[in-house]
Amino acid sequence: MKRFIINLLIVAGVGLSAAACYEDKSKLQTEDIPLIEIVVPEAIATNLTVVHGSRLDVEGLRFRKAGVENPEGLQYEWTVSTKDNDVVPVVLATTEEFHEVIDLPISSYGYLFVLTVTDPEYGLQSQYKWDLFVTAQYGEGILVGYTTDGKTSDVGLIMHPKLTEQYAGEPDGTIKKGLIESANGEPFPSLITHLLYTYAKSNGQNIFWAATQDDLMRIETDYYEILAHKDDVFVYPPEVLNVQQLVNTYQCTMILNDGDIYEELLSRDRLSTPISETVGMTVDNGVFSSHSAPGSTRRPSTVFYDKVQGKFCYGHNTAFAVCPSVGGTPFDPGNAPGLSSVAGGISVDASTHVMLMKTESDGKYWIYSFGNVSSTSKPPTAKLIYELPDALAPYLEKAVSIFFSLRDPVLYVATPEAIYKTIFETGSVQFDANPVYEAPAGEQITLARLYLQGYFAMENYESNATLEWSSRAVVVVTSKNDMNDRIHVVPQINYGSGQLDAASELVFDGFGKILDYTVVGLYK
């Protein structure tokens, strides 16, 4: 138990008399005024946390006066205020215990929560103070875009101990669905096409982008209120809204719309015009390799292939350029005609750009890898090129998803039936025709990606990857029919081998048809 007493005793004035004789009958000179002692359970002795819109229960306190436990006649007042000195506290309750719904704005800085106990017999007060933190109802996890009618769409959040830091819900996980309709009165009127988590750096607000067939929106993740629609997102709305990709890059959100590259700095809330240096560039098949790690150590942050020019292009923050021809390297980024982009990502050592390319002349597949440079103005260095075995080609041709492992040189290829791995190393590229994961009986795989913890996916600092499965698991969407899709989270096993541990997978269902998903996190 913790005991805490603050005396705010009202000063008593003493009147002077001109009479020659004065008999002092005051008891204050001869009696001690008993203090009110507040005894608080250790579990709630310092901080209190409550989910926004939930009831806060503060009970188990004991009060002592002159050795008497919980004496009658005491008066209680519970107040809350921000921690600014000039803020007037708001009275929330006048009961001995506190059981009230907290509707204060979500705040990571906390509020000052105070219990004042008054002894009316002497006008003496004692106080106990806590830091009160109001958190969002929704934490980090996997945000799923889905439809139940094929016309409108909504999002649901999967939270689980393996996917949500400081999770305190049911051990098997919690799914909150219908978040858009709940916060905004109605679901999206059309189908989701892309989702991407990010945050607004200006105010530390967690948000995500949602593209639908006819809109592009910014949505906050405390209540899932829509902050802006396409007409407010763009300063100059494009003639054609056709969102093809949403990508996190260094300090930016990159949006490929109808072939044009837009980038929004995290410190801003609106998109202006396409990046000037990219005008005239083409992003082949909408494929990027990108990261959002510290810019001083890993440049560039974006690599893509321009098929028209037959060259690779690169960018860092909002600066873009075309790779120059450099001649005798494993490959020449500035002179690479006749290719098509298949997939891109970061792999090998969590910092190497990789692009899966197809040679149009013979249909062969290759992995092109790029090193980092220290200067924004320098193009990426050609690192290595890997020729993929012909046996892999049929699987690539019918793939629904192709992606790389972040920390190991592993390429995953997901077909409707199964997921296969290829390990690519210098002088050795090995395709394994034995699947590392198979779709459950009667179901087909429709989408698969590497799992990254929410905030780590946004900013690739190692300190942001606090969960064991971050970059060490795969998220798989399977479908039995158009309205019975499931999310599987399958951990890797024997790191570096590319193997997946299907026996330890987590499975979540009840969404209807899953359209896309992203991970959401908490800005730190």
At 103-148, the pLDDT tens digits run 888 776 789 999 999 999 888 999 999 999 888 788 899 999 999 9
Confidence at 372, pLDDT banded by 50, 70, 90: confident
Predicted confidence at residue 298, as pLDDT, reads: 81
B/e letters for 73-86, b = 16+ CB within 10 Å, e = fewer, are ebebbbbbbbeeee
Predicted confidence at residue 317, as pLDDT, reads: 86
- 307 within a domain of the structure (yes/no): yes
- 41 within a domain of the structure (yes/no): yes
- 103 within a domain of the structure (yes/no): yes
- 45 within a domain of the structure (yes/no): yes
Confidence at 29, pLDDT banded by 50, 70, 90: low
- Does position 46 have pLDDT exceeding 70, yes or no? yes
Confidence at 253, pLDDT banded by 50, 70, 90: very high
**What's the CA gap between 474 and 451, in Å, rounded?**
5
Confidence at 524, pLDDT banded by 50, 70, 90: low
B/e letters for 304-317, b = 16+ CB within 10 Å, e = fewer, are bbbbebebbbbbbb
- 52 within a domain of the structure (yes/no): yes
Domain of residue 9, CATH code: 2.60.40.10
- Does position 339 have pLDDT exceeding 50, yes or no? yes
Among 19-28, 214-223, 331-340, 381-390, the least confident range? 19-28
* Whole-number percent of the chain with pLDDT over 90: 74
Which H/E stretch holds residue 456?
helix 454-458
Predicted confidence at residue 5, as pLDDT, reads: 41
- 65 within a domain of the structure (yes/no): yes
Predicted confidence at residue 12, as pLDDT, reads: 29
The total domain count for the chain is 2
- Does position 19 have pLDDT exceeding 50, yes or no? no
In the listed set 135, 155, 189, which residue is the last one of a domain according to the structure? 135
In the listed set 115, 135, 155, which residue is the last one of a domain according to the structure? 135
Predicted confidence at residue 87, as pLDDT, reads: 76
Is the bond preceding 300 in cis, omega lying within 30 degrees of 0? yes
- 367 within a domain of the structure (yes/no): yes
What token pair was written down for 461?
């600092």
- Does position 21 have pLDDT exceeding 60, yes or no? no
At 437-475, the pLDDT tens digits run 999 999 999 999 999 999 999 888 888 899 999 999 999
Predicted confidence at residue 86, as pLDDT, reads: 65
Predicted confidence at residue 8, as pLDDT, reads: 37
* Helix, strand, or coil (residue 136): coil
In the listed set 382, 414, 444, which residue is the last one of a domain according to the structure? 382
- Does position 385 have pLDDT exceeding 70, yes or no? yes
- Does position 13 have pLDDT exceeding 80, yes or no? no
- Does position 75 have pLDDT exceeding 50, yes or no? yes
Residue 132, judged by CB atoms within 10 A of its CB (0-12, 13-18, 19+), counts as buried
- Does position 52 have pLDDT exceeding 60, yes or no? yes
At 230-246, the pLDDT tens digits run 999 999 999 999 999 99
Among 13-17, 52-56, 72-76, 422-426, the least confident range? 13-17
Range of the domain at 19: 2-135
Query: Full-prediction pTM beyond 0.85?
Result: no
Among 144-148, 205-209, 324-328, 486-490, the least confident range? 324-328
Residues 431 and 420 sit within 8 Å (Cβ to Cβ)? yes
- 243 within a domain of the structure (yes/no): no
Residues 474 and 435 sit within 8 Å (Cβ to Cβ)? no
